[in-house]
Amino acid sequence: MTHATASRAVLDAGGRAPLLPAARTAFLEALDQGWADPRRLHAEGRRARMLLDGAREAIAGAIGARTQQVDLAPSHTAALHAAVRSVARGRRRTGDQVVVGAVERAAVLNAADFAGDRVTVAVDADGRVDADEFSAALARPGVALAALQHANGEVGTVQPVAAVHAAARTAGVPLLVDAGSSLGHVDVAETWDLLAADAGDWGGPGGLGVLVTRSGVRRSPDWPEDEDRWFPGGVSVPAALAAAVALQVAVSTRDAEDTARRRLVDTVRSRVAAGVPDVEVVGHPVERLPHVVTFSCLYVEGEALLAALDARGFAVGSGSACTSSSLEPSHVLAAMGALTHGNIRLALPRGTRLEDVERFLDELPGIVAGVRAAWGVGGL
């Protein structure tokens, strides 16, 4: 039975956050001003090129890079694939090993398998790699590239990127940092050689990725030659401009949003653990993203729980945030040794209201109990 609710509460913004109002305005304006092909030499094309270059410059400024180091990709996945493939090919004389953490996005793991010999470093119960183990792995002969996420978008745990980057520098191995869940939410330090990010995650339009490459990193494409060397065909100019505007807004409001959303996540973590029987809250309790929290419930199937919450007006995530919407068991949770079923992930958008979180927490125990009863495991 579907229960009436005053309004829907969107608590799932991981990878696809609601478009920020300033980004929407920029997108609509760019549809009028930047519709032309930026490679054309007529006035309309030059105007589109100016907007595209301005977007790259703004993104570079927000990241702390030079404009010429920033490439825009048709998706975050495309940016990750291109980074792994092109660096592995560019450094093939060094070796073919790609060192990764066990909880990297599927895009990184699959690209590492495609490009060479993947070496996987395990994580602890919080989903964090051991910096010493990771450093030892990338110091071995034959390593072409190392890849380590800034923070995990599924459980929120922040990785020891600075320590790993220092070891990578010593070993002469470039480090790809996936900031797809971090950029715009927390400070992403300059401890990287390649940086990938996702505009949809920080409140820009979906379908636009960013790849930043430091000078001196050798890359060689393994795809056909094109006028746009790294991402053939280019990207949407309106999307690029909207992404740049959204990132500027996200960075300028980051501290205030961090405080507000971290407080909400702390409330979720404590109340779920105390109020729902047989539940496991995962991820590092302190060294984490401010807006992400994940918990797993025994004796319940994730898809059924997601559907029940959706019927009550709550949009949440389940399964793996970094693979697909197929609700397959999460490789992230499996690597952590955590429950892989009955999983619910919240990624709070900017401006999430306390009353929506409180309502979610008030209704969650009864919803979980109802799903368990429907599965014949009530009263446990």
Q: Of 350, 299, 298, 291, which is closest to residue 321 (Cα–Cα)?
A: 291
Q: Count the Cβ atoms, other than its own, within 10 Å of residue 90.
A: 18
Q: Count the Cβ atoms, other than its own, within 10 Å of residue 138.
A: 25
**Cα–Cα distance, 78 to 232 (Å, whole number):** 11
Q: How buried is 252 (Cβ within 10 angstroms: 0-12 exposed, 13-18 middle, 19+ buried)?
A: exposed
Specify the residue for token string 């590492």.
112
**Cα–Cα distance, 96 to 202 (Å, whole number):** 33
Distances (CA, A) of 31 to 51, 61, 207, 374: 11, 24, 16, 50
Does residue 176 sit in helix, strand or coil? strand
Proportion of the chain in helix, strand, coil states, percent, rounded to 5: 40, 15, 40
Residue 2 in tokens: 């579907």
Q: What's the chain's length in residues?
A: 380
**pLDDT (tens place) for every residue of the chain, 380 residues total:** 344 445 899 999 999 999 999 999 999 999 999 999 999 999 999 999 999 999 999 999 999 999 999 999 999 999 999 999 999 999 999 999 999 999 999 999 999 999 999 999 999 999 999 999 999 999 999 999 999 999 999 999 999 999 999 999 999 999 999 999 999 999 999 999 999 999 999 999 999 999 999 999 999 999 998 888 899 999 999 999 999 999 999 999 999 999 999 999 999 999 999 999 999 999 999 999 999 999 999 988 888 999 999 999 999 998 644 444 445 678 999 999 998 888 999 999 999 999 999 999 999 999 999 999 987 776 55
Secondary structure element (H or E) that encloses residue 145, with its range: strand 143-149
In the prediction, which pLDDT does 324 show?
43
Known catalytic residues are 322
Q: What is the pTM of this model?
A: 0.93
In the prediction, which pLDDT does 378 show?
61
Distances (CA, A) of 274 to 11, 155, 280, 296: 20, 19, 10, 14
**Cα–Cα distance, 67 to 178 (Å, whole number):** 19
Residue 290 in tokens: 């401010």
342 Rama sector, left if φ>0, alpha if ψ -120 to 50, beta otherwise: left
Q: How buried is 347 (Cβ within 10 angstroms: 0-12 exposed, 13-18 middle, 19+ buried)?
A: buried
Q: Are 121 and 260 in contact (CB under 8 A)?
A: no
In the prediction, which pLDDT does 313 show?
96
**Cα–Cα distance, 305 to 318 (Å, whole number):** 9
Does residue 137 sit in helix, strand or coil? helix
Secondary structure element (H or E) that encloses residue 73, with its range: strand 70-73
